[in-house]
Amino acid sequence: MASYRNVLRDGLAAVGIAAKDKAGALEAAAGLLAAGAGLDKGRLLVAVAAREKLSSTGIGEGVAIPHALMEGVAATTMAVARLAEPVDFDAEDGGPVDLVFMIAGPRSDTGGHLKLLSKLARTLHDPEFRKAAREAPDGPALARLIYDRD
C-alpha cells in the first residue's frame, strides 16, 4: 500500500487557503498539487471536475477527496489544503468542507489509486485525526500528522 510519505511531498500541505466556493477550493488545491508535482493545473482541474460530475468527492465530516487518473502523471501525488473557511461541496452529509485532499495518479495505476483512497478514507474517518488536522498551525505540521498515520 502507498505510503503517505511517497505521495505527499514536501510543500504539498497548506493551511489557511482562501476559497469562496467548491470551484475555488478545487482550483486552490489543484494549484498546490500542480505546482508541487509538476502537473498542468488546467488539465488537472478538467480531470477533477469530470470526476466531480459523477458524484461529489465530499465524503462528510468536513472532508473532500477530489481525485483523478491522468495521462502524463508519473506517480500518484497528493496535496492537502485546509481552507480558511468551510465551503459548500455537495458533500454526502450536506455539511461544508474545510479539509481537501486532492490526488492525481497515472491512468495505469488504478489499483494503487483505489488503495490510497481507501487508506485515506480510513484515516479521515478518525475524529481525533480530523480535529488535529484542523488545529495544525502550518502545512508542515499538517503533513507530519498525515505521515504519522503510515
Active site residues per annotation: 67
Alpha carbon separation from 105 to 4, 25, 38, 44, 99 (Å, rounded): 14, 19, 12, 10, 20
Going through 1-150 in order, the beta strands assigned E by DSSP cover 13-17, 58-60, 63-64, 67-70, 77-87, 97-106
Name every residue whose Cβ is closer than 8 Å to that of residue 135 and which is 6 or more positions away in sequence.
none
Compute the distance between CA of residue 108 and CA of residue 31 in angstroms, rounded to an integer. Answer: 23
